[in-house]
């Protein structure tokens, strides 16, 4: 008989992976890597680009220090939860084209995995966000089977909603306020 072991434990009300196993993943065209401070310049180039915040009233990062704080918080997620957002590199040259992945957050007092994607405008329209989102959903199903994967976006952000739909997330009107909400389960 095969004995299965839960890959994560509950700690202080949140789920924590026992071992970090998904810090480096390859998809057909992409490499997904746990972020480091060495990624800061590329991270700022993406998060500081107004085009990548067209639907975000808060706007882009205007200083590299702001981006550094954000990047460090994404790095901390890996230490705390064993999962977080990846830096997305395009094979074979390894150019950084985006930031995407899963983050442990709370939604309506429930622990969920926030699905996130932000790519350089030159990389848009090639299916890259969908490719990462599919890989992220696969990781969530394997490592955190009890947690909903949730994509939240502004109702004007058609590309972001299209990605959520393409990977099979369902819109949940009852969870919506300011944001449109798609989930894998609830
Ligand atoms: C959202 C984002 C990550 C999508 O990245 P991407 O790599 O271009 O996404 P994909 O190519 O995998 O898929 C995009 C889909 O949106 C569709 N799309 C694009 N513009 C659209 C529009 N105006 N209306 C409807 N669908 C649209 C595309 O046709 C494509 O679907 P298809 O493959 O079925 O044709 C990218 O636009 C981005 O980085 N935006 C800025 C950051 C952002 O808004 N992130 C979401 C935060 S909540």
3-state helix/strand/coil string of 136-181: HHHHHHHHCCCCCEEEEECCCCHHHHHHHHHCCCEECHHHCCCCEE
What integer pLDDT is reported at residue 80 of this predicted model? 87
Collect all residues with Cβ–Cβ distance below 8 Å to 120 and sequence separation of at least 6: 45, 46, 49, 52, 97, 98
Greater model confidence, 184 or 4: 184
How does residue 128 score in pLDDT terms, banded at 50, 70 and 90? very high
What integer pLDDT is reported at residue 181 of this predicted model? 98
Axis-axis angle for helices 64-81, 40-47 (nearest 10): 110
pLDDT of 89 higher than 70: yes
Greater model confidence, 145 or 101: 101
Pick the residue whose CA is nearest to atom 19 on ligand 1.
Answer: 159
Query: Residue with structure tokens 């074979």?
Result: 92
b/e per residue 113-129 (b: at least 16 CB within 10 A): bbbbbbbbeebeeeebb
What fold, for 8-146? Aminopeptidase (3.40.630)
DSSP 57: T
Give yes or no for residue 97 CB within 6 A of ligand 1.
Answer: no
Decide if 132 contacts 42 (C-beta within 8 A): no
Q: pTM value? A: 0.93
Where exactly are the structural domains of the chain?
8-146
Give yes or no for residue 179 CB within 6 A of ligand 1.
Answer: no
Among the residue ranges 3-12, 40-49, 57-66, 145-154, the one predicted with the least confidence is 3-12
- Index of the ligand 1 atom closest to the CA of residue 130: 12
Collect all residues with Cβ–Cβ distance below 8 Å to 101 and sequence separation of at least 6: 32, 83, 84, 85, 86, 115, 116, 132, 136
What integer pLDDT is reported at residue 5 of this predicted model? 44
Distance separating alpha carbons of residues 114 and 132, to the nearest angstrom: 13
Neighbours of 136 (CB within 10 A): 26
Greater model confidence, 146 or 20: 146
What integer pLDDT is reported at residue 7 of this predicted model? 60
């Amino acid at each position: 008989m095969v004995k299965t072991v839960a890959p994560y434990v509950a700690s202080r009300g949140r789920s924590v992976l026992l071992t970090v196993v998904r810090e480096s993943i390859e998809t057909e065209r992409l490499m997904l890597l746990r972020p480091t401070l060495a990624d800061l310049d590329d991270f700022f180039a993406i998060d500081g680009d107004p085009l990548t915040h067209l639907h975000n009233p808060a706007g882009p990062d205007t200083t590299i220090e702001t981006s550094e704080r954000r990047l460090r918080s994404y790095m901390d997620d890996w230490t705390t939860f064993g999962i977080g957002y990846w830096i997305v590199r395009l094979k074979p040259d390894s150019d950084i084209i985006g930031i995407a992945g899963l983050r442990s957050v709370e939604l309506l007092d429930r622990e969920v995995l926030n699905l996130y994607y932000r790519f350089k405008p030159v990389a848009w329209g090639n299916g890259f966000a969908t490719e990462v989102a599919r890989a992220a959903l696969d990781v969530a199903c394997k490592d955190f089977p009890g947690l909903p994967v949730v994509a939240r976006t502004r109702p004007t952000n058609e590309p972001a909603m299209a990605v959520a739909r393409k990977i099979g997330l369902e819109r949940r009107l009852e969870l919506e306020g300011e944001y449109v909400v798609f989930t894998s389960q609830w």
